């Protein structure tokens, strides 16, 4: 047999080491087959519950706006300070300067006129419901009182009377009727006094007639009886 040369020894050693490595690898793979075959577990994220706010942002429909409750409806009787008692005939929408405006349409049969008042401005304009029966009773009792005439110039008193009438307050209007009423035996009213007196009397009589569901003549007669009782 031929002797191996020194150069062949390193090759033999390398081959031997390679064989031992393959044996070790084979053994390790045989011992742990489950680990090799088991698929990697994926960490599933828990579902996140959407909050009401996030749901609304994600495209849910916005809640419908509540309709504004109207103070008055068609058919209601109302009092406008400078015109007295009227009746709401309609609630209409008009476009003014590119903006839609909701209006109360009020008819004043006595003055033969129609007034349109914006719904949003009704309270500030002084538009109100009819007085209660208790308030009207107090106004009628005021007619029985003693007249209180200031010793000032008529022009100034006339302005004060007009202001009371245009306030729409039945008690204030009753004061004007009481102060300008003339009993038998007293001096007659001047033309301007008579005008203001009739204006106040008719304004109060109209509201009284609607509240008690009687005509203007009956309401005026009832007021005259209270004035005579003074």
Q: What does the mean pLDDT of the chain come to?
A: 80
**Residue 92 within any structural domain of the chain:** yes
- Do 122 and 201 lie in one domain? The reply is no
Choose among 64, 68, 83, 80: nearest CA to 120: 68
**Residue 13 confidence (pLDDT) above 70:** no
Choose among 198, 208, 196, 197: nearest CA to 170: 208
Give the position of tokens 């489950």: 34
Number of folded domains in the chain?
2
What CATH number does residue 148 fall under? Answer: 1.20.58.1290
End-to-end CA distance of the chain: 162
Tell me what pLDDT residue 64 has. 57
What's the domain range around 90?
77-129
- Do 143 and 116 lie in one domain? The reply is no
Confidence category of residue 103, pLDDT binned at 50, 70, 90:
very high
Helix, coil or strand: residue 95: strand
- What's the rounded mean pLDDT across residues 28-43? 47
CB 72 within 8 Å of CB 122: yes
pLDDT per residue as tens digits for the range 115-164? 999 999 999 999 999 999 999 999 999 999 988 888 889 999 999 999 99
């Amino acid at each position: 047999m031929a002797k191996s040369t020194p150069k062949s020894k390193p090759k033999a050693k390398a081959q031997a080491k390679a064989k031992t490595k393959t044996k070790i690898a084979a053994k390790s793979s045989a011992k742990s087959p489950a680990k090799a075959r088991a698929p990697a577990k994926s960490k599933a994220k828990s579902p996140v519950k959407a909050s009401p706010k996030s749901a609304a942002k994600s495209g849910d429909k916005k809640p419908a706006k509540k309709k504004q409750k109207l103070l008055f409806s068609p058919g209601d009787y109302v009092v406008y300070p400078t015109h007295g008692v009227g009746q709401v005939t309609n609630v209409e929408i008009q476009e003014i300067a590119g903006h839609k405006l909701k209006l109360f349409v009020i008819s004043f049969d006595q003055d033969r006129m129609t007034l349109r008042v914006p719904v949003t401005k009704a309270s500030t304009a002084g538009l109100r419901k009819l007085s209660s029966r208790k308030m009207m009773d107090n106004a009628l009792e005021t007619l029985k009182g003693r007249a209180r005439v200031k010793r000032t110039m008529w022009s100034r008193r006339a302005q004060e009377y007009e202001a009371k009438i245009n306030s729409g307050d039945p008690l204030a209007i009753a004061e004007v009727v009481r102060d300008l009423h003339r009993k038998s035996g007293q001096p007659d009213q001047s033309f301007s006094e008579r005008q203001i007196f009739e204006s106040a009397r008719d304004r109060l009589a109209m509201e009284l007639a609607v509240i008690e569901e009687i005509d203007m003549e009956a309401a005026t007669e009832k007021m005259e009886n209270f004035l005579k009782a003074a």
